[in-house]
Structure 1
Amino acid sequence: MRIPGSLVLANLPTSIERLGRLSEELGVNVFVKRDDQTGSEITGNKVRKLEFAIQEALDQGCDYLITCGGIQSNHARATAAVAAKLGLGSCLVLRSSGGDNLEGNFFFGKLLGADIRFVTPVEYRESRMDIMKEITEELAAKGHRAYIIPEGASNGIGSFGYFKALEEILGQEKELDVKFDAVVATVGSGGTYAGLFYANKGHNNSGKVYGINICDDAEYFKDKVVGLIDEMNGYTGQELNYNRNELNIIDGYVGDGYALSRHEELEFIHWFARLEGIILDPVYTGKAMYGLVEEIKKGTFKDCTNILFLHTGGIFGWTESARLAFADLG
């Protein structure tokens, strides 16, 4: 299957580790793919998507990147880092209610030289694309050609980052002499899941791809993934043969909402860190791994021998407010 060209930015392939103590606790082999180790400034899953999106930007002669996200967006920080590395300008449209501390991803975005524009939650929800288009026109008047990357780089071109990641996993299965019955990823904007699913179907792999959504609901993301697959078809020139019912997105772990942590989620992150020496983040991987463990206990994965969890990074999400919430655990 023909896929678009891409830059080489991430430290790949990322390793796969068996979580020995967790596996013993649950009675099933649980592995983790360390996409939290794709780099330092570019750490996490976003850089895989940016390898494809920014190659397209360069092919179009663009010298400026515009993207959006929450105040602690991992994607926005990674975009600013790659822009600086390649000598491009960057503008980050960040959702904020005001009074944010200069910390975490917000701090690193500033440090990397991004032009940061704040918008209210309502403006972000209803008109973030219009705002980014206005910035494109503003930059054009100054002689720049800007490329807009949507939230999380979750569009057709960006999703190929995880098409390529699934191919990487298939190669590692042979190296490790293990077959993953399930690959499980966090679903926050849909692009990671879409790319994994597209490659999994395209290669007729017997394992299944599961997502655990940490915002909105499963039906919302199924609609999103269907749209992304349509976009990806436009790049491959082929129609992926699949059924919507094959989109395995597990609902029930959004908790109090996006980037809002419940006591049991923070307790789980603490327990997991002490058990395996791996730090999850409170926004994405903490909720998703918590969901995976709960679903294993419920029997959702009873037919699986080997399960692979994708650690998509997010350690910079441990801001002061998150640390204070964790401190309340005592």
Structure 2
Amino acid sequence: MPKPMCVPLQLPEAFAQIPHYKILYPISSPIHPLPSIVPASVSPHQPLISVHAKREDHSSPLACAGNKYRKLEYIVPDILSDTPIYHYHENNPTPPGPLTGPATTLVTEGAIQSNHTVQVAALACKLGLKALILLHRGTGGGLRAAQDKEAFQRSGNVQINHILGAEVRVCEEGDPLACDATPLLDQLKASGENPYWIPGGASLHPLGGLGYARAAFEIAAQEEEMELGGSGQFDYVFVACGSGSTVGGLVAGFKMLERMDGKTRKVIGVLNSPTQPQDYHEERVLNFAKRAAVLIGLDAWDISIKDVRLDDRFVGSAYGVLDDQSKETLEIMARTEGMVLDPVYTAKVARGMMHWVKEGEFSSSGLNEINVLFIHTGGQAALGAYADVI
């Protein structure tokens, strides 16, 4: 197992000046090889492939480490500001001005087994704030597919939210709060709280893409410490595409690095939900990437739709539903690499990545040797709620 690295990041000046609150460990989340994922024999016409995993599930001392903590690192300075700016719901037709004083309560939303809500609740504990979590019963298909629906609604991430002391409210399908939580935020203000709204997945927050733009620089720094063959870099980076800003941030960060070092790294976002068509997600990711790009010192037109690469072949039947093929991937990864995936995101990403590797989908790259990075974004705490299918 490689030693954890604490490598200084050489961020562009505009990026380095953006306020940032440390939630992650001072060392980089580790990258380690996955030798069992590479086929034992490779066709002479196929490039040599090496596969590594970046363990974002080992990135923070806070509960259930995962990708949302990176996003939250750039949101916390606004939360703690004397006049927080981005505290209102994204669908509020008349956004209010700044809060008069630092936030006292973090409010967010997600599906019943949302990883994001746990990370917001844990952050609230860290900051000495209250947390109010809205869980939407109608989001995704995990609850509908569960054999024991009562267990699904009290175990996994739901249980951890309660352990962390968050107030949890469950919204029925069709609840207006699912579209705009402004009335709830107004109620909290009337009761003397200063509520700060964090959108689901933190993606629609104006600063939501910065964490993974920074992660791109972390990956580039780790590449320099590794003995990668071929190009000496990760040529393809596979990551889940849910709410979209993890992919968008990586696209922006790697585009800035391309300008600085001339190296091209392709981000492959593996979609985990069939709710919307691929072109909807592509436009959404593009907007997140452009927004992050402008903040870190690029121009919006430096990024185009050609930089957004999504794969929708592994979504399964619904968001939050573990299909048979992804379940098999989860079990293979556990029994060959000793690495546990989650049932909603990383099992589908790993399935997609393994398909690319085994079916020779890198052959058109023109490279003789290819380095692949799989970003493990966490989420294993949800496994308890899926005990009836795993």
TM-score for the superposition, normalised by structure 1 = 0.92
Distance in 2 of aligned mates of 1:276 and 1:286: 14
Match of 1:249 among 310, 322, 343: 310
Q: Displacement, 1:120? A: 2.1
Choose which of 84, 89, 104 in structure 1 pairs with 2:156: 104
- Residues 111-260 of structure 1 correspond to what in structure 2 (within 5 A)? 111-123=163-175, 127-131=177-181, 133-155=182-204, 156-178=206-228, 179-204=233-258, 205-215=263-273, 216-233=276-293, 235-236=295-296, 238-240=298-300, 241-260=302-321
What SS class does the counterpart of residue 319 from structure 1 fall into? helix
Q: Structure 1 residues 172 and 71, CA, compared in 2 at 3 Å: closer, same or farther?
A: same
Equivalent of residue 46 in structure 1, options 68, 73, 86: 68
CA shift at 1:225, angstroms? 1.3
Q: Deviation per CA, 1:8-43, whole angstroms, max 9, x where unpaired? A: 111241000011122254751000001011235041
Rg: which structure is higher?
A: 2
Instruction: Give the count of matched residue pairs.
Output: 322
What code does the residue aligned with 2:269 have?
G
CA distance in 1, matches of 2:64, 2:32: 21
From 135, 146, 155, the counterpart of 1:94 = 135
Partners of 1:152 and 1:26 lie apart in 2 by 40
In 2: Cα distance, 1:111 partner to 1:19 partner: 34
Q: Which amino acid aligns with 2:22?
A: V
Deviates most, 106-115 or 219-228 = 219-228
Q: Which residue of 2 aligns with 1:266?
A: 327
% same residue: 30
Looking at structure 1, the residues matched to 179 and 197 of structure 2 have their Cα atoms a distance apart, in angstroms, of 9
Counterpart pick for 2:117 among 76, 82, 87: 76
Q: Provide the rounded CA distance (Å) in 1 between the counterparts of 2:296 and 2:324.
A: 44
Report the Cα offset of residue 66 of structure 1: 0.9
Mapped to 2, the partners of 1:317 and 1:26 lie a distance apart of 36
Q: CA RMSD in A?
A: 1.9
Give the counterpart of 2:375 among 310, 314, 322. 310
Task: Read off the aligned partner of 1:52 and give its amino acid letter.
Answer: Y
| Unpaired runs of at least 5, structure 1 | none
Q: Are the equivalent residues in 2 in contact too, given 1:26–1:297 (CA < 8 A)?
A: no
- For residues 248-270 of structure 1, give each alpha carbon's deviation from its aligned partner in whole angstroms, at most 9, with x where no partner exists: 11111111110111222212211
The amino acid that maps onto 1:223 is E
**TM superposition shift of 1:271:** 1.4
Shift of 1:121: 3.3
8 A contact 2:271–2:311 mirrored in 1: yes
Contact in 2 for aligned 1:32/1:309 (Cα 8 Å):
yes
**Cα shift at 1:278:** 0.4
1:37 corresponds to which of 45, 52, 58: 58
Task: Give, in whole Å, the separation in 1 of the partners of 2:237 and 2:72.
Answer: 22
- 2:97 corresponds in structure 1 to none
Residue 324 (structure 1) shift: 1.5
User: TM-score scaled to structure 2, two decimals?
Assistant: 0.78
Amino acid at match of 2:227: D
Match of 1:5 in 2: 19
1:203 deviation in Å?
A: 1.5
Do the aligned residues in 2 keep the contact of 1:10 with 1:42 (CA within 8 Å)? no
SS in structure 2 of the partner of residue 108 of structure 1: helix
2:99 matched residue in structure 1: none
Alpha-carbon contact 1:15-1:34 (below 8 Å) kept = yes
On the 8 A contact 1:185/1:309 being kept in 2, the answer is yes
Deviation at 1:232, TM superposition (A): 2.6
Alpha-carbon separation, structure 2, partners of 1:26 and 1:7: 46
In the alignment, residue 268 of structure 2 is paired with which amino acid? Y
